[in-house]
Structure 1
């Protein structure tokens, strides 16, 4: 995500109809897992916000909490705030980064190969991954792999993961309002 919170502008926000809610459940189950679909079913209010943003098209709120966002042309990613609040993590593979990489990632930087110290799960390019802090094992960002897990293990340098959402970005800030 870009660093400027001014770029994220909500154009409209409304409750989803039962039909649209059911469609959303199916999409969320496919992309995020059954637990996310169950959370949509359990929610009293399911809202969508249409946004003006270069990388995002829609925000989805479950009982007034930002749960996930639709990346323009690329499906859903969960809100990190919702991951922590609902204690619910998508079934994405994980990469663990060293302490030196954490401040850079929390500033919006992409993940470079040398910063990755551990990989959980196999993945190919263009796969969503959780980016975790090695020492604390907490999720600090969600990204899109630019290399496969095997390429990362055998590479010495290069950009491995494009950061999509991180603690402290505009989506996080909107979640905590």
Structure 2
């Protein structure tokens, strides 16, 4: 992907903010309340994803199909939902943008659904390393022994992470 350039930024109406948080609640449940703010701004960019500034930080992204915290959002406002935990051996690959393979996964929360966003976290500290799209539901992921389980969407050092505002 090319470098993301912010063309405009403006605050959204309260009703739009409520809709945004309702869509976020569909993904992460009551933890969506952690992202409430008096002012939410939308960034108009050249990317396929819409980015939202909460408290002047790019904490949320909207693809049209779903709303989910950005990686910075997951780091700054930790939430327990939608987690795929990987072992220490997978960390260097994940932070460099690799998809998540089954041998590196040590735990999956029950709310992981195929086609929905998840946060990939490290086993030791529980710190988010990337945001991905689950390719299988949680039970199928646990039952599997090999193959790709999560497609990478956003990781440390990518264009969303390095975006200058």
Give 1:26 deviation, angstroms: 2.8
Unaligned runs of 5+ in 2: none
> Secondary structure, in 3 states, of the residue corresponding to 1:27?
helix
Unaligned runs of 5+ in 1: none
Matched, 1:36 2:36: no
Matched, 1:18 2:22: no
* Contact 2:101 2:149 survives alignment (8 Å): yes
Give 1:79 deviation, angstroms: 1.8
Give 1:98 deviation, angstroms: 1.6
Give the alignment partner of residue 72 of structure 2, picking from 71, 81, 92.
81
> What number of residue pairs does the alignment pair up?
165
Matched, 1:109 2:98: yes
Deviations 1:21-48 (A, max 9, x none): 33333333333433434633xx243110
Give 1:14 deviation, angstroms: 0.9
CA distance in 2 between counterparts of 1:147 and 1:31 reads 16
> Secondary structure, in 3 states, of the residue corresponding to 2:114?
coil
* Contact 2:81 2:111 survives alignment (8 Å): no
Q: TM-score when scaled to structure 1?
A: 0.79
Give the equivalent residue in structure 1 for 2:44: 50
- Over aligned residue pairs, what C-alpha RMSD do you find? 2.3
Matched, 1:157 2:146: yes
Give 1:118 deviation, angstroms: 2.2
Matched, 1:131 2:125: no
Q: TM-score when scaled to structure 2?
A: 0.84
Q: Which moved more, 1:118-127 or 1:155-164?
A: 118-127
Give the equivalent residue in structure 2 for 1:167: 156
Change in CA separation of 1:39 and 1:112 when aligned onto 2, cut-off 3 Å: closer
* Contact 2:81 2:109 survives alignment (8 Å): no
